[in-house]
Amino acid sequence: MLQLPSLKIADTCETRFILFDDLKLLWMEARGANTVEDQSPEPESSVKHDNGSAGRGEKSHENIDDGNMAADTPVILVVDANVRHLHREKLDQVFPAKSTRYFEVPPGEESKSVATWNRIIDFAFSGPLRRNTPLVAVGGGVTGDLAGFAAAGLMRGLPLYHIPTTLLAMVDSAVGGKTGINHAFGKNTIGAFYHPKAVLFDTAFLDTLPQREWLCGISEVLKYGYIADPRLLDQATTLADPASRSQNLLGEVIEQSVRIKSEVVAEDARESGRRAWLNFGHTFGHALETQDNYCNINHGEAVYAGMIAALCVSRKLGYNVSDKPLLEMKNTYQLDLGAYTSAVDRLVTLMTQDKKNRDNSIRLVLVKEHGRPCLHPVNNRNLLKEAWQYTFKALS
Q: What digits encode the pLDDT tens for the residues 296-319?
A: 999 999 999 999 999 999 999 999
The C-alpha atoms of residue 93 and residue 198 are separated, in whole angstroms, by 19
Q: Look at residues 173, 251, 15, 202 and name the one whose alpha carbon lies nearest to residue 95.
A: 202
How sure is the predictor about 270, in pLDDT bands with cuts at 50, 70 and 90? confident
Cα dihedral: 90, 94, 99, 105 (round 10): -50
Catalytic residues: 156, 178, 220, 261, 271, 275, 279, 282, 286, 299
- What does the pLDDT average to over 311-328? 97
Q: What digits encode the pLDDT tens for the residues 337-357?
A: 999 999 999 999 999 887 666
Q: Yes or no: say if 168 and 150 are a contact pair by the CB < 8 Å rule.
A: no
Residue 50 pLDDT: 39
Q: Let me know if 25 is exposed, middle or buried by CB neighbors in 10 A (0-12, 13-18, 19+).
A: middle
Q: Best-predicted range by mean pLDDT among 34-38, 112-116, 292-296?
A: 112-116
- What does the pLDDT average to over 33-51? 42
Q: Over 90: is that where the pLDDT of 43 sits?
A: no
CA 192 → CA 29, 67, 79, 180, 270, distances in Å? 27, 24, 20, 6, 10
How sure is the predictor about 44, in pLDDT bands with cuts at 50, 70 and 90? very low
Lowest mean pLDDT, pick from 33-42, 83-92, 293-302: 33-42
Domain coordinates of the chain in residue numbers? 2-208, 211-394
Q: Over 70: is that where the pLDDT of 126 sits?
A: yes
The C-alpha atoms of residue 154 and residue 73 are separated, in whole angstroms, by 15
Q: Let me know if 107 is exposed, middle or buried by CB neighbors in 10 A (0-12, 13-18, 19+).
A: middle
Across the chain, what does the average pLDDT equal?
88
The C-alpha atoms of residue 79 and residue 367 are separated, in whole angstroms, by 37
The C-alpha atoms of residue 327 and residue 307 are separated, in whole angstroms, by 11
Fold of 2-208: Rossmann fold (3.40.50)
Question: What CATH number matches the domain at 211-394, 2.130.10.10, 1.20.1090.10, 1.10.10.520, 3.90.1150.10?
Answer: 1.20.1090.10
Name the residue with higher pLDDT: 159 or 295.
Answer: 159
Q: Over 50: is that where the pLDDT of 62 sits?
A: no
Angle ∠(201,205,209) on CA atoms, nearest 5: 125
Angle ∠(292,85,108) on CA atoms, nearest 5: 10
Beta bridge partners of 16: 198
Q: Over 70: is that where the pLDDT of 220 sits?
A: yes
Prediction pTM value: 0.87
